Amino acid sequence: MKTTDDLIVKKAPQVSKKCPHCYVHIPLDAEKCPACKKTVGMVDKHGMATRRVDWMSYIICFLAWLALGLYIKFAFFS
């Protein structure tokens, strides 16, 4: 009879990760993909590299909304 210890599958350690942009296998310690030249993060449990957060896009979006709000305030409520 099989026990629960027999059913546990042991995973091999990761030796590479996949770029989330172009799906090329790259070394674990790589910070940029050699194929698409985009920065990649740490590897997740599925073997994919995580995407780094593009903070500049968030800042530009916030500033654009702020500019729109100020325009509406001064154009229509002043």
Which residue's entry shows tokens 């500033």?
63
Residue 45 near residue 60, CB atoms below 8 Å: no
> pTM for the full model?
0.56
Q: What is the pLDDT of residues 15-29, one digit of tens each?
A: 889 999 999 999 999
| Residue 58 pLDDT | 96
**One-letter amino acid identity for 31?**
E
Query: What Rg do the C-alpha atoms of the chain give, in angstroms?
Result: 23
Specify the pLDDT at position 13: 74
DSSP, residue by residue, 49-76: EEEPP-HHHHHHHHHHHHHHHHHHHHHH
Please state, in angstroms and rounded to a whole number, the distance separating the CA atoms of residues 45 and 28.
13
